[in-house]
Structure 1
Amino acid sequence: MGSAPIQRRSVILGFALVVLLLISAFQSTEASIHVYESDPLREVGNAYLLSGGSEGIAASDEHRSYIRFENITFWGSKTAADHQPTVDFNGGLVQVIIFEAADRDNIGGSAYGGQRSLCCTPDLAKLEGCKEGEVIRTPSATDKNWPVALNIYFRGDMAYAHMKNKKEVNIKKTGMYNLFFMTCDTRLRGMRVTGRTVWKNPGGYLPGRMAPLMKFYIFMSIAYAILCGIWVFQYARYWDDVLLLQHCITSVIALGLLEMTFWYFDYAYFNSTGMRPVGITTWVVTIGAVRRTLSRILILSVSMGYGVVRPTLGGLTTKVLLVGITYFLASEMLNIAEYVGSINDIAGRARVFFVLPVAFLDAFLILWIFTSLSKTLEQLQAKRSSIKLDIYRKFSNALAVAVIASVVWIGYEVYFKATDPFNERWQSAWIITAFWDILAFALLCVICYLWAPSQNSQRYAYMDSKGDETDDEETESLCRESPGNISLVKQDTKDGDSSDADEGEEGKRE
């Protein structure tokens, strides 16, 4: 009776999600094509600047890499114009600065006013020989043309200045490049920028740190397809003996295959157009959130002994579903914030706001899983069910290895990011993301191996045996609520169940 309202709410929630996804499918978001929509410059030291983007770009002899400027326009301060009608922007200088992360110290000069000076002042012009009113730029030791400084001037009584359309800056060295719009003119303190820049890598528009992931998802799709083929073969071969638990495993495999395939198409579209499709990306992150949620609920249910020492989760069903729904929503919000939008990293505080709920829920689930797994192992030992006990011991060992590997990798990820504040190791950053997909796939393979459909699948199933003894009061109450034969599989009473016979013999010997 209580399941009907839950089902209705699930249908309504699913319908609302589908509607949102269909709406988002007609939208797209700029990615390696950075768009500026009247973005204002902000004051930093004695300069006014706006970050135009930061990306890893690879140099190649076969294909050209570049940064292209399209319809870039600088608009004078409206506030200044309102309060000072006679303000004259004529001769106002705006500079476009492009530099590699390794050459970041070549921008700016000696300390001025307590912090590093970006603009050349009269005093610094005498000390360092820079040009007054311009950004201080020291040529790189390896290339005198870097960092690049492009000058754009306000002319006449015009309140705006245009940059030459489709001007391109060729990239001849692999590195992490940064672009800034800067001015030292106080008349332009409230200036705004419109237009866009296009960042092109040799293989396409996909940002350098993301390019290896496209190939990675090809391999992951193939791996999931092979696992899916093997599992479906066993699934069809022993269809009459398939358990509900194995149906759940099938769903996780199918979702994993869909997720990896959709990720590849998302990156391929991104690479060819320079724009990330919000529709496809939203679908893929949603599929991923569902897969991760279902995987955790599956592992938790197995750890609780579902289908092995208890026929249902009973009173825990509501709690498990509540945790699952909460985890899905938290994971969905994090993934949408990270992937459905600009490729630039989320600001530190904003990212923590989305990451913390997922991290907390993961820690809570790990604790719950191992606590439940410990109780299940005790029950199996009390029942002297050596076959199921062996499977659960292997399962617990695999989970322990996965948790240890996760903790170690989190430590490495923190170290990686802490020691690379300027993303200079961007070419290997893709491994951080790839590891979690590899770990999830490896754990799924272990589960598939332990619970593969076979003619002996009945050994995994819960059986209402009067000889079984357990100290778990909740399990006893669940057994009393389901009188009669509550096995998850059909029992052949004529030939006898091989599993019962094996366990009976083991009980006599022990």
Structure 2
Amino acid sequence: MQQSTGVVEAIILDVKDRKRIGGAFLKTNAICCNSTLAETGSCKLGEVILQKNPDIPSWPRVIKTHFAGKIEEVKMGSEEVEINSNGMYYLYFMFCNPELKGTLINGRTVWKNPNGYLPGKMTPLMTVFGIMSLAYLVLGLVWFLRFVQFWKDIIQLHYHITAVIALGMCEMAVWYFEYANFNSAGLRPMGITLWAVTFTTVKKTLSRLLLLVVSMGFGVVRPTLGGITSKVLVLGLVYFIASEAFELVEHLGNINDFSKKTKVFMVLPVVFLDSCFILWIFSSLSKTLEKLQVIFSYLSFQSFK
């Protein structure tokens, strides 16, 4: 018989039960069980102190893998763990034997929900994007029919609106395909995700630029933007870069890769540029309304004469 020389514990638990790891319930800051605590029967010597959930006695779930004698490599057996409660779950690999310091763990875990591999927080999005794809398809069909019906009265703005609708249609379809593929295969298709993120960013940028130039009176009271065209394009380009960077970080990483501070740092440029768009749109809209009011007053005066 070879003596056990260390144990690695795989601990699966709900995020709400994180405080059950360690000796807080025993009024100690220790993570590992020592001889004093072991004598009281509160834990086993050389193992992680773990408080069981009184509502679900089998949780947190612990899977132990032992090293024996001088063996330096051990294979952990495959385990299937059934989870019957909704929530965010973590898997920790922990050990208390100081001789195991530097231990390398290789392998993979597979997490699957009843309807597929999509994480719980992402599952409703597949349905949302499916519905939105159909909605954009209907909108595009109606717009196309009206576009053909009144083709003699088409102005340049109508082509821009058509482009935004087409981008929205492609965006929703690609996102739905991305989530459906992720749900069935269990791996996120990075190429499809990159295309979906790019479609989203381009549509957001064009829609903001379109709203801005319309508020400036383009196609209504002025045929061109004149000298401010370059400023509008620069703002659009900077917004595209900032938004694309944020979306890539958000979607190409793992679900919980980044801390709240990192996400705030990435979203700040996008929020600032959105604020610039809002301020510019409202100020331009106010000036355009004043021009229209002057024109309307002049035309009314001429008609009265």
Task: Give, in angstroms, the shift of residue 106 of structure 1.
Answer: 2.6
Report the AA paired with residue 97 of structure 1: I
Instruction: Name the SS for the 1:99 alignment partner.
Output: strand
Cα distance in 2 between the residues matched to 1:509 and 1:120: 95
Task: Give, in angstroms, the shift of residue 168 of structure 1.
Answer: 1.1
Q: Does 1:221 align with 2:133?
A: yes
Q: Which residue of 1 aligns with 2:51?
A: 138
Q: Does 1:240 align with 2:35?
A: no
Report the AA paired with residue 373 of structure 1: L
The 1:133–1:509 alpha-carbon spacing in structure 2 relative to 1, beyond 3 Å, is farther
2:63 to 135, 142, 150: 150
Q: Which residue of 1 aligns with 2:274?
A: 362
Q: Does 1:93 align with 2:7?
A: yes
The 1:307–1:108 alpha-carbon spacing in structure 2 relative to 1, beyond 3 Å, is same
- List per-residue Cα deviations over 1:33-90 (Å, max 9, x = no partner): xxxxxxxxxxxxxxxxxxxxxxxxxxxxxxxxxxxxxxxxxxxxxxxxxxxxxxxx96
Greater fraction of residues in strand: 1
Do the aligned residues in 2 keep the contact of 1:259 with 1:288 (CA within 8 Å)?
yes
Do the aligned residues in 2 keep the contact of 1:96 with 1:182 (CA within 8 Å)?
yes
User: TM-score under structure 1 normalisation?
Assistant: 0.57
5+ residue gaps, structure 1, are 1-88, 386-467, 469-503
Report the AA paired with residue 151 of structure 1: K
Report the AA paired with residue 147 of structure 1: P
Cα distance in 2 between the residues matched to 1:323 and 1:171: 49
Report the AA paired with residue 33 of structure 2: C
Q: Which residue of 2 aligns with 1:285?
A: 197
5+ residue gaps, structure 2, are none
The 1:223–1:269 alpha-carbon spacing in structure 2 relative to 1, beyond 3 Å, is same
Q: Does 1:102 align with 2:16?
A: yes
Task: Give, in angstroms, the shift of residue 191 of structure 1.
Answer: 2.0
Cα distance in 2 between the residues matched to 1:151 and 1:192: 16
Q: Does 1:197 align with 2:113?
A: no
1:178 to 75, 90, 101: 90
Q: Does 1:124 align with 2:37?
A: yes
The 1:286–1:105 alpha-carbon spacing in structure 2 relative to 1, beyond 3 Å, is same
- The alignment of Structure 1 onto Structure 2 pairs a total of residues equal to 303
Task: Give, in angstroms, the shift of residue 127 of structure 1.
Answer: 4.8
Q: Which residue of 1 aligns with 2:296?
A: 384
- List per-residue Cα deviations over 1:407-440 (Å, max 9, x = no partner): xxxxxxxxxxxxxxxxxxxxxxxxxxxxxxxxxx
> Which portions of structure 1, spanning 4 or more consecutive aligned residues, are displaced by more than 4 angstroms?
504-507
Report the AA paired with residue 284 of structure 1: A
Do the aligned residues in 2 keep the contact of 1:258 with 1:287 (CA within 8 Å)?
yes
Q: Which residue of 1 aligns with 2:122?
A: 210
Q: Which residue of 1 aligns with 2:303?
A: 508
Instruction: Name the SS for the 1:384 alignment partner.
Output: helix
Task: Give, in angstroms, the shift of residue 179 of structure 1.
Answer: 1.0
Task: Give, in angstroms, the shift of residue 143 of structure 1.
Answer: 1.9
Task: Give, in angstroms, the shift of residue 287 of structure 1.
Answer: 0.5
Q: Root-mean-square deviation (CA), in Å?
A: 2.1
Cα distance in 1 between the residues matched to 2:18 and 2:191: 37
Cα distance in 2 between the residues matched to 1:128 and 1:336: 50
Q: Which has the higher contact order (CA 8 A, sep 6+)?
A: 1
